[in-house]
Chain A
Amino acid sequence: MVSAFEFVPAIAVLPLVSFVVALAFGKWMPKKGALAGIFATAGSLLLSIWTVLTVAGILGSETAYHEEIWQFATGIGTFDLHLGVFVDPLSSLMLLIVSLISLLVFVFSLGYMNDENETGLPRYYASLSLFSFSMLAFVFADNILMAFMFFELVGLCSFLLIGFWFREDAPPSAAKKAFLVTRFGDFFFLIGVVGIFATFGTGLFVTEAGFPAMAEQAISGEMPGTVADFLEPLGMGAQGWFTILGLLVLGGVVGKSAQFPLHTWLPDAMEGPTPVSALIHAATMVAAGVYLVARMYGFYLLTPTTMGIIALIGGFTALFAATMGVVKQELKQVLAYSTISQYGYMMLALGSGGYVAAVFHLTTHAVFKALLFLGAGSVIIAMHHNENMWDMGGLKEKMPVTYWTFLSGSLALAGIFPFAGFWSKDEVLYEALIHGLGDPVILVAWAMGLLAVFLTGFYTFRMVFLTFHGEPRTDDAEDPHGVRWNVKLPLGVLGVLAATLGFINMVPVAKLTGAHIDFLHKWLVGSEIVNAEFLTGLHVYEDLLPYESAYIAGGEVPTLLISAALSLGLALAGVGLAYRLYAVPEPVEHTKKLGGLRTLLMHNYYQDEYQVWLAEGVTLPLARVADTFDQGIIDGVVNGISSVSLFSGDRIRRIQTGVVSNYAALLTIGLALLLIAFGIVGGWF
């Protein structure tokens, strides 16, 4: 029987084909390339499902797969670079998510783009396909170089799609910013990649020959030769050096996953078409960063400092972004900040040792955030591309499908029982809590995450109420543009998933009842081969975990319940406050009461301003100074030499006065000078 694993590369290649087809022939195709993308991603989805089933052991005994498929660059007397495929529970799950959401976004785009008679559709679908290709290849990458490569390509697609409406001013600017900010993060990432290769001679994520395993050996004292060769001249200990490497790679993660302080690009990225926001800036590309940390979790676990920093960044970002989400007026802006905030949770989970929790939240968030963005897209179609929530209101009756699915997503986002977000967010906070009790850093991060739950509940439902409830506040809201099946279908699929996806890992229920229904947990534990050969199973990570678990109120189950109750309570409180303030027929801008704080929040804590200042206020003037220096001093010296030469040439030729007597005199003087000089040297006199 043919193994699914042999077709894993095709999961990425299919969208690549559709990229080429859409770019070259899209103009002449019936749906301008959309069909190519839909077929390709559908194919990818089917292959992904097949892969997942294989990994699950349902279709055979081989449950993980690693293969080098392309020799990239051959080194003689040094390491080779290659591209390879690695499939394990984590990557197969991610393949499934990415291909599913890609497919849905393609379908949605039919409604959002084709039906709206946009131009440049082949370019749009080609970019979208290229994005799917890059993301999928990134997911199954077996080494960090390949991961970096497709990480960058994802960035390119983001640039192309954010700047899709290039004829306006704002989108190209936002695209530039997105690429530049993530590039800044990738700069550190690339140093990390290069450093990892230089240190270990390999960038492989898995197996004994992979760098996490080698790092573990190095720290435990059995220093592999290549590592020792590198570290010795450097004069650094393994622990310290690995921390630096980990933090460098983390730079890329912070950039792509829009964590503080490199989160500023994401809100601007909302200039892109809404389906793009759903796909890239909510469900997948931003997830790449978090996924990367999960992928090389074995490495991060070795350096507690890095773990602590990850947790802290995550917790802080979760709270920080949530506060800004509270005051936004535009639908997609609220969602943008909620995305940043939610990825903060995932980082918090990873940093505090909650591997399963992070993957769980990644999964649920992918679904409900895609849903919310697509829902927002539907609203935007209806509102004739007006995104201001204060111009909406009362859309509930006009577009019921959108409303109900959006509500499902919102409940999930707010973390209301029993929607998907509740389960995953609860687990994140629980893991942070139990590990934080023994580690103050984690505890601080946990506290921030907890606080953010309240704000999340509040801004989510502020958004829902302002958009769908009350009375229509404009003519557009009065008479919205209708949407078709291609919008409703993806919403429906995702709406159902958002409500139900949490059931894959109902840890509190499992703990309470003792029933083994924590499927995701079991999934990530993986099979024998994943743990023993590839070293990526959950048990491997648990062995390496640098934290001790501690419990309050006397045990695991009470702690779990307290934690769940706390987060649910805060979420409900947030929702309740939103209901009080905004679920009225004529809501007003209560945020004005915040005074100076509101100004601060509306300006996003002046994060943009200082980053723009760094780019335009520091770097550009520095470049101009360098330019002046270059033109003036360096080139000045060059030109000066030539001017001086010509000037002295002009002087020298004045010796030739044209009067022959002068020549005779000069001749005599010259001869006399020679005679005197040599006479003195030769001692003639």
Chain B
Amino acid sequence: MVPAEYYLLLSAAMFCIGLFGILTRRNALLFLMSVELMLNAASINFVAFSLQWGNLTGQVFTLFLMALAAAEVAIGIGIILVLYRNFADIDVTKPTTMRW
């Protein structure tokens, strides 16, 4: 069996990739995808440690996470839509009417 530390490393790596995406991507959809990546990193942990601890709690949580990710995307797409309508762009760095 693969030691749990490896799953931790994997998930950490995924989380960081997602984070990197957030910091570098200006496209709102890519931003959203990066967030999904981070959520999935959490899912990996849950599933892996569910196995390790021998209970199903973690796996259940993963199901919640997946559902949630879907809902989030739905809302997100909606917002990106109105963003595009108002700013004619989905570059997240464009809307800066409010600052300071």
Contact = CB atoms under 8 A, between A and B. Distances in A.
Contacts of B90: none
A658 B92 contact: no
Contacts of B26: 661
Interface string B5-33: 00000000000000100110010000000
B97 interface: yes
Contacts of A656: 99-100
Contacts of B23: 661, 664-665, 668
A167 interface: no
Contacts of A657: 96, 99
Contacts of B95: 658, 660
A653 B98 CA distance: 12
A295 B50 CA distance: 106
B19 to A, nearest CB: 6
Given A665-B23, A668-B19, A660 B99 contact: no
Interface string B84-100: 00000000110111111
A657 B22 CA distance: 17
A593 interface: no
A654 B96 CA distance: 13
Nearest to A672: B19
B40 to A, nearest CB: 18
Given A664-B23, A668-B23, A659 B96 contact: yes
A658 B22 contact: no
- The number of chain A residues touching the other chain, given as a range, is 10 to 19
Interface string A664-676: 1100100000000
A658 B92 CA distance: 10
A654 B93 contact: no
- Which residue among A654, A661, A665 has the maximum number of chain B CB atoms within 10 Å of its CB? A661
Given A664-B23, A665-B23, A654 B92 contact: no
A661 B26 CA distance: 7
A249 to B, nearest CB: 70
Contacts of B99: 656-659
A660 B92 contact: yes
Interface in B54-100: 92-93, 95-100
B100 A654 contact: yes
B19 A658 contact: no
Contact of B98 (A658, A661, A664, A668): A658
A676 to B, nearest CB: 15
A684 to B, nearest CB: 13
A404 B23 CA distance: 115
Contacts of B100: 653-654, 656, 658
Nearest to B16: A668
B33 to A, nearest CB: 14
B14 to A, nearest CB: 15
Contacts of B97: 658
B24 to A, nearest CB: 8
Given A668-B19, A668-B23, A661 B92 contact: yes
A661 B93 contact: yes
A664 B22 contact: yes
A665 B98 CA distance: 18
Interface-centre pick from A653, A656, A657, A658 (highest chain B CB count, 10 A): A658
A661 B19 CA distance: 11
B31 to A, nearest CB: 8
A665 B23 CA distance: 6
B17 to A, nearest CB: 13
A659 B93 contact: yes
A659 B96 CA distance: 6
Interface in A381-414: none
A659 B92 CA distance: 8
B19 A660 contact: no
Nearest to B99: A658
B64 to A, nearest CB: 23
A668 B99 CA distance: 19
Interface string A639-663: 0000000000000011011111100
Contacts of B93: 659-661
A658 to B, nearest CB: 3
Nearest to A652: B100
A658 B98 CA distance: 6
Interface string A310-325: 0000000000000000
B85 to A, nearest CB: 18
A487 B26 CA distance: 109
A664 B92 CA distance: 11
A658 B23 CA distance: 15
B94 to A, nearest CB: 9
Nearest to A655: B100
A657 B99 CA distance: 5
A654 B100 CA distance: 5
Given A656-B100, A659-B96, A661-B92, 9 more contacts: A657-B99, A658-B97, A658-B99, A658-B100, A660-B93, A661-B23, A661-B93, A664-B22, A664-B23
27 contacts: A653-B100, A654-B100, A656-B99, A656-B100, A657-B96, A657-B99, A658-B95, A658-B96, A658-B97, A658-B98, A658-B99, A659-B93, A659-B96, A659-B99, A660-B92, A660-B93, A660-B95, A661-B22, A661-B23, A661-B26, A661-B92, A661-B93, A664-B22, A665-B23, A668-B19, A668-B22, A668-B23
Interface of B: 19, 22-23, 26, 92-93, 95-100
Task: Please name the 7 residue pairs, one residue from A and one from B, whose CB atoms are nearest each other, closest first.
Answer: A658-B99, A658-B96, A653-B100, A659-B93, A664-B22, A660-B92, A665-B23
